[in-house]
Amino acid sequence: MKKMAVLGPKGTYSDIAAKEYIKKNNLDAEIEYYPSILKTSLALKETDLAILPFENTLDGFVLESMDTIISNDFKIIDQIKLDIDFAFVTNEEKAEECKDVYCQFKAYGQCIEFISKYDFNIIQTQSNSATVKKINEAGKGFGAIVPMHSLKDNDYKTKLLHVADRRHNQTRFFICSKETEHVKYNDEIDASIVIVIKEDRPGILFEILKELSDLNINMNSIMSRPMKTEMGQYKFYIEVSLLKDSIKKLDKLKDELNRKGFLIEILGIYNKL
């Protein structure tokens, strides 16, 4: 039986995504919970798999997950997407009676318009389950932004539903492994690559994008990340889409960019959602 590292405790969106992935793929896996994204990521050194929140519709990339995957050369083997929805809860009569509000750090970026409306003092937590635990133990004057699915197990005096900035809100999770695993690819695939700039010079980004264009590889996103060795030194995280039949284009891309003095690593090839 495989072991999967998951951001816990039970009831987090990561937990729900992990269980859906295990069920969907008929995977024989045991979930092990960890208290933070960093500890979940690093647990992959001891477990077989880890599921990491990677991108949200409203709040963008989860940089902690991205940087840990890159720095540890973890392999992305698959992805799964989950609908996300939040509610504001308190045991006060009105939301206006709350001053301090518990909120998971990524949920904050997804509900910022609602939070700004009430000018709450936000107390950040490491997980949505931790937020639920905090509000259930809190005294007067406290509120919380919690997942909608947590309402069925908890009762609060005041509940404001659907408080995210937009109703269409999803989080994409990566399933990661220490080693590349054989995956049955569908016709359309995505890939994650990281490109390290060995020597800064004008037109570097243009050179990278031109190679993608020449090979007819569609770029979905690009993000610069600091090398963390010297100020002004960066690497690029890039996601691309292509057809399964043209997967060898990634090898050509790697060869061409290596020839031009770039260091390129393919972090993972996985089925398109």
The whole-number pLDDT of residue 229 equals 77
In this structure, is residue 26 part of a structural domain? yes
In this structure, is residue 15 part of a structural domain? yes
The whole-number pLDDT of residue 166 equals 92
Same domain for 66 and 119, yes or no, is: no
DSSP 8-state secondary structure symbol assigned to residue 217: P
Angstrom distances, CA of residue 234 to CA of 21, 194, 205, 260: 34, 11, 11, 17
Q: Which domain holds residue 122?
A: 86-161
Same domain for 29 and 65, yes or no, is: yes
Same domain for 50 and 173, yes or no, is: yes
Give CA–CA dist 93/228, Å, rounded: 48
Same domain for 55 and 173, yes or no, is: yes
The total number of structural domains that make up the chain:
3
Residue 101 CB contacts under 8 Å (≥ 6 apart), including other chains: 88, 115, 120, 121, 122, 123, 142, 143, 144, 145
Same domain for 106 and 51, yes or no, is: no
pTM of the model: 0.90
Same domain for 8 and 73, yes or no, is: yes
The whole-number pLDDT of residue 189 equals 96
Residue 182 CB contacts under 8 Å (≥ 6 apart), including other chains: none
Which stretches in the chain have pLDDT values below 70? Answer: none
The whole-number pLDDT of residue 141 equals 92
Same domain for 48 and 173, yes or no, is: yes
Digit-coded pLDDT (tens) for 213-243: 999 999 999 999 988 777 777 899 999 999 9
